[in-house]
A and B are shown apart, each in its own frame.
Chain A
């Protein structure tokens, strides 16, 4: 990823770093570079948004993870490329502190499947249709009144496509690049009927999930525990809080659960971090994360899912955390998730919600070492001090990596989480 200068006496040799198409989830095989927000020679700081990507998960703001100067731009918009493709080269600033989300997984995503098999077909095919020079004369075609993503509008203008009548799968029915695929296809190519890019995208996504999850199950010795959490106090407290507040200050149970989880991770940091390498390599080891970034599984209405992280959950108040949850949910639906949010989670939570199942056992997302599943809240008859009372409970499940965590530790962790939720006002 970085090339170390060989000649130590030569002080002016800059170190370069490749900026690649990031893997923004286990199911991502390729992404489309739609716009550069920087030029060659421009200085950037770690965390700056430098490009906009269009993916199966919508439009994503791509960040840079080191500071330096954009040395070379290698891919011009609009081009679809497989995950891991070098998009640009960055000349690192001298004392550059890298803040890569998951160390090695950034440049060589552990989960990215070999793109050669599944992605190449689609990408070359799409490239043929989609690669558009920036200098193309813009022809004015009526695209007003139709909701479409910026890239779709531009393509429609450039290729004089008629967007009316296309059913969009984006927010508010907006037409996304994927929805355009059949049209682009019809315009340029009529001979190969068996290829349908939209289906292919779905197939690629399924293949990528299959590869990533199989790899996780093969390499990580998962073990599972669950515990029934009594949420009677928490639900009562929430009801009191929400009784008279306007909707924008309304708290959901998930905010309490995540806050209690973060507090429990402070006490049990072994569940929060990364296991790098495999047991067959010499240097494999667990590294505790120094921050608590909780990835939240959000189902997209058009199918598939996205797992954006809320950062530093242990340092947020419950209401700040609630704002954070609303914010990532909204951006998951309408675009502008940042690439780092999809890459730097230190642990993952999947929440079934109140219409889901009683419990869910997740597959760990490597290099993380734990995933928690929250089932739906249900009412049970519970014996308390020889009396039967109605209690509201929820089953939390923990899938943990046995290379790092033992059963007793996992059980203590779950019991601590249960205890924290008994005093919601203190969270």
Chain B
């Protein structure tokens, strides 16, 4: 999965809980919950959607590593490349 695909995957997961959000609406380096108006239940469902599409499970201990769009992109890219090389 290249960076563009991962970006699309993240966007789709966001849109499952916030259908009206487009990529242009999101500042990539700001808190994703603020950007997309996600409450804690929405955020959880966003992570569950990502797990479904990527197989990667994000525990609460890692939340600070995924709290912006760009951080999520890096996090997933790293985990996905670990996965494919192992």
Give A residues with C-beta under 8 Å from B. 168-174, 239, 242-248, 250, 252-254, 301, 325-326, 329-330, 333, 353-355
Contact = CB atoms under 8 A, between A and B. Distances in A.
A399 B86 CA distance: 57
A247 B44 contact: yes
A168 to B, nearest CB: 8
B59 A244 contact: yes
Given A354-B40, A355-B39, A247 B19 contact: no
B60 interface: yes
A242 B60 contact: yes
B73 interface: no
A168 B40 CA distance: 25
Nearest to B17: A333
20 contacts: A172-B16, A173-B15, A173-B20, A239-B60, A243-B59, A243-B60, A244-B59, A245-B59, A246-B51, A247-B47, A247-B58, A247-B59, A248-B48, A250-B44, A250-B60, A254-B40, A301-B20, A301-B37, A353-B39, A353-B40
A246 B60 CA distance: 8
A247 B57 contact: yes
A243 B62 CA distance: 8
Contacts of B39: 353-355
B59 A330 contact: no
Determine the interface band of chain B, counting residues with CB < 8 A from chain A. Answer: 20 to 34
Contacts of B60: 239, 242-243, 245, 250
Contact of A326 (B44, B57, B59, B61): B44
B82 to A, nearest CB: 17
Given A243-B59, A246-B59, A247-B57, A326 B45 contact: yes
A104 B45 CA distance: 37
Contacts of B47: 247, 250
A252 B59 CA distance: 13
B40 to A, nearest CB: 5
Contacts, number: 60
Given A168-B19, A246-B59, A353-B39, 16 more contacts: A172-B19, A173-B15, A174-B19, A243-B60, A245-B60, A247-B51, A247-B57, A247-B58, A248-B51, A250-B44, A252-B44, A301-B18, A326-B44, A329-B41, A329-B42, A355-B39
A301 B19 contact: yes
Interface in B1-50: 15-20, 37, 39-42, 44-45, 47-48
A174 B16 CA distance: 11
Choose among B16, B37, B58, B60 the residue with the greatest number of A CB atoms under 10 Å from its CB: B60
Nearest to A325: B41
A242 B16 contact: no
Contacts of A248: 48, 51
Choose among A239, A253, A329 the residue with the greatest number of B CB atoms under 10 Å from its CB: A329
Contacts of A253: 40
B61 to A, nearest CB: 5
A374 to B, nearest CB: 12
Contacts of A354: 39-40
A353 B38 CA distance: 10
B41 to A, nearest CB: 5
B40 A172 contact: no
Contacts of A254: 40-41
Given A171-B19, A172-B19, A252 B58 contact: no
Contacts of A244: 59, 61
A237 to B, nearest CB: 13
Nearest to B16: A172
A349 to B, nearest CB: 14
- Nearest first, the 8 A-B pairs at minimum CB distance are A247-B47, A242-B60, A246-B57, A172-B19, A353-B39, A247-B48, A173-B19, A329-B41
A397 to B, nearest CB: 19
B44 A330 contact: no
Choose among A170, A246, A325, A353 the residue with the greatest number of B CB atoms under 10 Å from its CB: A246
B19 A170 contact: yes
Interface string B51-70: 10000011111000000000
A245 B60 CA distance: 8
